[in-house]
Structure 1
């Protein structure tokens, strides 16, 4: 059977588990909005964001596991992986892809990471009783930036599709990056690859 997300990451089942969790929370969000249960809708929106971001971190951990002498799981993040590639003077297509999506105030993943952080301090959903509408705050800590386009279901469904694509791409690029890393590490004096 073909790999459902197109990766060859050693922890792909965990990545899929996080994505499935996010989709389950999206179903809960839909039902809560339909039944006008604001507290449940807010909790489900936070859970979608949390599980979505965890699926990206899980994919990065899978990438990390492919590298020689992988980082401990608690140290896996974009910055620490970038530092490993910089240390051996190697480029990483995976990390360049993340750079693109994490560009401050421009990348969709940056905005999602912002929502994850802000959800501890402010609601993600904007309930407008006058217009009988619900929207997702662009930045919950700065309401002057307005809301995301579309309904919460449309926004989060689109985000999960983007994360699914991102995870596929990480899996596709990972092996080549690992080869690049190993070759660069071999050129470093005193390095083991």
Structure 2
């Protein structure tokens, strides 16, 4: 665990570099309305790998944090008679992956299985949203690591099962620096989670 801060720092730098390269490849900085289908498919694989690596780096950061105890919330004052409470939807927290949209209409694939193939450009918005979310996380990983540390502490207190990080099978497709980090992360996470109480 002594090497964790170095590998986390280096891993985040490599992830930023890889994301910048991905943004340049897809011209995501120009905010296109559509992307060529083949280009989106070629970019989605590396983006998914980056999301997994960054998520694991954040977990490693979160496990190394020492959190201050949570202050109890102040009791609210009694409401006056006739007061109405208005609730707003909670702001959406960062998500490192987007929804996967079906390539063709579901009814078409039922009628003609294997014969219908979508073609032409695809909307860029879901892909750009994923790139943007990952970019925001990489801009300020400490904030997200603190939030994740609180979430992991709650899971541990509830007696949830210990998180497991499986080896990344496609790490050989990454640049050597990022591939080495992706290969090392499951072992580092396993060592960092040794103290997790898993007696349930």
- TM-score category, normalised to shorter length: 0.3 to 0.5
- Normalising by structure 1, we get a TM-score of 0.38
Instruction: Flag the structure with higher helix content.
Output: 1
- Normalising by structure 2, we get a TM-score of 0.37
Looking at CA atoms only, which structure, 1 or 2, has the larger radius of gyration? 2
